[in-house]
C-alpha cells in the first residue's frame, strides 16, 4: 500500500448560510456566518487521510493571521509539515461561500499565496513522492506547477489523477500525463464542448478526453451517479440516496476517497463506489472539511447497497 500525495490549495472558508442566494446587485440578509478551513488541495488531502490513506499535502500558505491558523490546523489534522510551504509575500487564500436552504452554493476565491505555488516549490518537495502510489491535483494553483507535479509523478511511476476544478482550459500537454481525469458535468462540457447532461453525453465527452491522451475519464453527474470511460469500458456507477444539506466539498470528498482507495490497490470499480459513498456522505453535513467522512462511515454506506 502506497501513500497519496496531493498538490493544491489551502484556504480559510468564510461562509454565509441564507434562505436563498442573491441575484446580481441584490443583498440577502439574515444569514448565519461561520469561518472554517477549505481549499481543494487541503480538502482532498484530508478526505484521503480520513478515508484511511497515508497522505501528504504540498501547498503554499501565507504568514498572515489566517495563514498561521490554517497551517496549524492542517498539521494538527495529521498532514506532514514538510509539505506546507510558508509564504512571506502574500496572505493565505480565502474563499467566500454562500449556501442556500437547499444546500446549493456559490463560491468566490481570493487565492493569495496559493497562486505563488511554483515548480521550484514542488522540486524542493519532490522527496514527498517517495513511497507514494497516487498523485492528486486540482486547478486552484498555477497550471505550470500542476503540470510539473504530474510530470514528476509520471517519472516516479505514480498513478496520476486530476480533478479539473475550477473549470479552465488545459494545455494539450497535460492530458497525456493523466491516468485519470475526474470532471463534473460543467467541467467536462468546458473541456470538450459537449453539453453534458446525461450518461450518453458524458460518454461522448469522456471519449474526447481519451482521444486527447487521458488514460481514463470519470465524469460525475450529481444525482445520476458517475460515468467511467476507458478504452475498453463505459460504466455508469449509480449514486447513493442521501438527504443533501450542503454540497460544498462533495467533489473533494469524492476525489480524496478515490485516491485513498486506489492507493491501497483497490480495483477501479470498487474505488469509485467507495468514492461515491464519501461524496454522498459529505453532502449530509455543513461545511467543507467538517463534512469529510471517516473511513468507517464510508464503508458502512458502501455496504448498504
Give the whole-angstrom CA distance, residue 163 versus residue 70: 23
SS (H, E, C) 249-272: CHHHHHHHHHHHHHHCCCCHHHHH
List C-alpha distances in Å: 84 to 9, 87, 255.
Answer: 10, 10, 20
Please count the other Cβ atoms lying within 10 Å of the Cβ belonging to residue 76.
Answer: 8
Are 98 and 21 in contact by the 8 Å Cβ rule? The answer is yes
Q: Spot the catalytic one: 13, 87, 190, 252.
A: 252
Catalytic annotation present for 252: yes
Beta strands 105-110 and 93-99 are antiparallel
Give the whole-angstrom CA distance, residue 184 versus residue 220: 5
**All residues at 6 or more sequence positions from 224 whose CB lies less than 8 Å from its CB, including other chains:** 198, 199, 236, 239
Which alpha helices (H) appear in the chain, and where do they start and end?
Answer: 40-50, 65-76, 119-124, 143-155, 185-192, 199-211, 250-263, 268-282, 295-303
The residue with cell 470532471 is 183
Note if the bond before 148 is cis, omega within 30 degrees.
no
**All residues at 6 or more sequence positions from 274 whose CB lies less than 8 Å from its CB, including other chains:** 51, 257, 258, 260, 261, 266, 298, 299, 302
**All residues at 6 or more sequence positions from 258 whose CB lies less than 8 Å from its CB, including other chains:** 161, 182, 218, 271, 272, 274, 275
Residues annotated as catalytic (active site), given as ranges: 252
Amino acid at each position: 500500500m502506497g501513500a497519496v500525495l496531493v498538490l493544491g490549495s489551502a484556504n480559510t472558508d468564510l461562509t454565509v448560510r441564507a434562505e436563498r442566494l442573491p441575484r446580481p446587485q441584490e443583498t440577502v440578509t439574515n444569514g448565519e456566518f461561520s469561518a472554517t478551513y477549505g481549499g481543494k488541495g487541503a480538502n482532498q488531502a484530508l478526505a484521503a487521510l480520513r478515508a484511511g490513506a497515508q497522505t501528504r499535502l504540498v501547498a503554499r500558505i501565507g504568514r498572515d493571521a489566517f495563514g498561521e491558523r490554517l497551517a496549524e490546523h492542517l498539521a494538527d489534522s495529521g498532514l506532514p509539515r514538510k509539505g506546507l510551504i510558508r509564504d512571506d509575500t502574500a496572505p493565505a487564500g480565502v474563499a467566500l461561500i454562500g449556501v442556500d436552504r437547499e444546500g446549493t452554493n456559490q463560491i468566490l476565491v481570493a487565492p493569495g499565496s496559493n497562486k505563488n505555488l511554483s515548480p521550484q516549490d514542488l522540486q524542493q518537495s519532490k522527496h514527498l513522492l517517495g513511497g507514494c502510489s497516487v498523485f492528486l491535483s486540482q486547478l486552484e494553483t498555477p497550471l505550470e506547477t500542476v503540470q510539473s507535479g504530474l510530470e514528476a509523478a509520471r517519472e516516479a511511476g505514480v498513478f496520476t489523477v486530476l480533478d479539473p476544478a475550477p473549470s479552465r482550459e488545459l494545455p494539450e500537454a497535460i492530458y497525456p500525463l493523466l491516468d485519470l481525469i475526474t470532471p463534473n458535468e460543467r467541467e467536462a462540457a468546458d473541456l470538450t464542448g459537449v453539453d453534458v447532461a446525461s450518461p450518453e453525453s458524458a460518454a461522448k465527452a469522456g471519449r474526447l478526453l481519451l482521444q486527447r491522451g487521458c488514460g481514463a475519464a470519470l465524469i460525475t453527474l450529481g444525482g445520476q451517479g458517475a460515468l467511467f470511460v476507458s478504452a475498453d469500458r463505459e460504466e455508469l456507477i449509480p449514486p447513493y440516496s442521501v438527504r443533501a444539506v450542503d454540497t460544498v466539498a462533495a467533489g473533494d470528498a469524492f476525489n480524496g476517497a478515490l485516491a485513498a482507495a486506489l492507493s491501497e490497490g483497490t480495483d477501479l470499480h470498487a474505488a469509485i463506489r467507495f468514492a461515491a459513498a464519501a461524496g454522498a456522505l459529505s453532502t449530509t453535513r455543513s461545511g467543507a472539511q467538517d463534512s469529510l467522512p471517516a473511513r468507517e462511515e464510508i464503508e458502512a454506506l458502501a455496504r448498504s447497497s
